[in-house]
Amino acid sequence: MFNQIKDLAGGELYLISSLIMFMVFFIIVGIYLLKLNRKHIEVMSELPLTENQSTAHEED
């Protein structure tokens, strides 16, 4: 198995670039989640549970 990894013949570029894109994406998502406003998170977490607000399709 490790011999196949050693003999990529130019495929290292694709492996390294996909790993870098994967890591950059999750680092950006992690930073975004850490910087979110806590009040916004509370409002969004309670959104499906609040029944006192009627939607447009319920009024019809």
Residue 4 domain-assigned?
A: no
Tokens for 11, please give them. Answer: 């495929």
Tally the domains of the chain: 1
Is 8 within a domain? no
pLDDT category of residue 11 using cuts at 50, 70 and 90: confident
Confidence of residue 15 (pLDDT cuts 50, 70, 90): confident
More confident residue, 48 or 2: 48
- Reply yes or no on whether the pLDDT at 2 is more than 50: yes
Domain presence at residue 27: yes
More confident residue, 10 or 60: 10
Instruction: Look at residue 22 and tell me if it is in a domain.
Output: yes
Task: Record the tokens describing residue 22, joined without a space.
Answer: 């994967």
Cβ pair 7, 14 in contact under 8 A: no
Domain that holds residue 38: 17-45
Average pLDDT for the chain: 78
pTM of the model: 0.53
> Does residue 54 fall inside a structural domain?
no
Q: How is 8-60 classified by DSSP, letter by letter? A: -SSTHHHHHHHHHHHHHHHHHHHHHHHHS-HHHHHHHHHGGG--SSPPHHHH-
